[in-house]
Amino acid sequence: MAIMEISVVPVGTGGTSLSKYVARAFEVVRKSNLKYELTPMGTVIEGPIDELFNLAREIHEVCFSMGIKRVLTTIKIDDRRDREGTMEQKKRSVEEKLDV
């Protein structure tokens, strides 16, 4: 299982608000049936690496389907092969090390 963080920025929208594009891209994530977490600056998704790559392409294409001519997509992938890793496990590991 891999974890991917993705952020899509349409260029040339004619305005400063991007939420309608983000919402359409997020619909693709919700329909994927993969576990996800929407954050203020992107979306984190966990699943099999092949599904994540396919999903990233679908997300990237959404803005083009809305008439945008240029899209910047940032993807970070954590693909650990020595043991199973999840979003929750990664957060829990850091929290356990905090001096709270």
The structural domains of the chain, ordered by start, are 2-97 (3.30.70.930)
What span, in angstroms and rounded, lies between the C-alpha atoms of 51 and 60?
A: 14
The secondary element (H helix, E strand) that includes residue 43 is strand 42-47
Q: Inform me whether the pLDDT recorded for 96 exceeds 80.
A: yes
User: Is the pLDDT confidence value at 48 over 80?
Assistant: yes
According to the model, what pLDDT value does residue 47 have?
96
Q: Residue 20's Cα: distance from chain center in Å?
A: 16
Task: Tell me the average pLDDT across 69-83.
Answer: 94
Mean pLDDT calculated for residue range 46-51: 96
Residue 24 contacts by C-beta under 8 Å, 6 or more apart in sequence? 62, 63, 66
Q: What is the helix (H) or strand (E) element at residue 59, kind and residue range? A: helix 49-65
Structure tokens at 2: 């891999």
Residue 33 has pLDDT above 90, yes or no: yes
Distance, CA of 11 to CA of 71 (rounded, Å): 6
Whether the pLDDT of residue 99 is over 80: the answer is no
Give me the mean pLDDT over the 22-33 stretch.
95
Using the predicted structure, report yes or no on whether residue 100 has a pLDDT greater than 80.
Answer: no
Q: Which of 90, 8, 93, 7 is nearest to 44 (CA)?
A: 7
pTM exceeding 0.85: yes
